[in-house]
Amino acid sequence: MVVIIAVVAAGRGRGKTSLVESITGRLSSRYRVWTVKHVSDSFDTREKDTWRHLKAGAEGSIALGAGSLVVLRSEIDESVERALKEVPAGADLVLVEGFKESVLPKILLAQSTDEAEEQLERTSNVFAISGSLADLHADKSVKGVPILGSDSVTDVVSGMVQDDQVKKLPGVDCKKCGYPSCKDMANAILKGESLLKDCRTLKISDVMLIVDGKPVYLSEFPKSVVRNVVLGLVNSLKGFDAKKTGKITLELRT
């Protein structure tokens, strides 16, 4: 069990952060130390308290307050790929600000066509150009990349999310969503009439098959076979009762 200790004082300027720094600095080489800090306005920036906690050696620091919770970690790998590992499962869209050198699909903001041309020489995988340039040149293009206003570029992004959601449909045609087939639900998603979260197979599936990190959704018969075999195996083991087990994970390595 983790040891949790609060450092408190009658008001500001009493040295709470300094003491946290001192304890963290002395113990972080032996233990995994995290800190939690309440903030009144917004999470702390460089040289502020949570940053000082990290500099002292904390593995991570949590800033809580102002209607938000921010987790800061000590991290050597500053790549966007490392950051994306923290995105929770089930997210539909992640908007990354910056990381121009990455291979991610990009929206380029520019003030002039000359600036856009210059940046396109340095930036890969740009699918749209926006920003103040779009105020004068909307629906035109630079080197084949369309210039779009904010509404139009939002529509493009929405379409990308819809296409991605269609690809995630299980393809088992269970009809639990109210549509005759996954294809019909896909058409509804593309028309903006439905969302992936309306797929009940994805939401309530009690048997999940993961192959090389990719989920494979089963229809009712193979799902019931897998469920019954695994539950029967667990029940046959001494000291285990499948009825009292919340979650069973079986991992096969070939």
Residue 106: strand pairing partners:
126
Task: Let me know: does 10 contact 42? Beta carbons within 8 Å.
Answer: no
Summary count for the chain: helices (H), strands (E) = 9, 9
Q: What is the pLDDT of residue 204?
A: 57
Four-CA torsion 79, 81, 87, 89, nearest 10 degrees: -170
Q: How confident is the model at residue 43 (pLDDT cuts 50, 70, 90)?
A: low
Mean pLDDT, residues 17-30 taken together: 86
Q: Mean pLDDT, the chain, as a whole number? A: 81
d(CA 197, CA 62): 30
Q: What is the pLDDT of residues 169-226, one digit of tens each?
A: 777 777 777 778 878 777 777 777 787 777 776 765 667 777 777 777 677 677 778 7
Token duo for residue 62: 């949590």
Q: What is the pLDDT of residue 192?
A: 78
* pLDDT above 90: percentage of residues in the chain: 16
Strands in 16-110 per DSSP E: 34-38, 60-65, 68-73, 106-109
d(CA 170, CA 102): 31
d(CA 120, CA 14): 52
Q: What is the pLDDT of residues 122-140, one digit of tens each?
A: 999 999 999 999 988 878 9
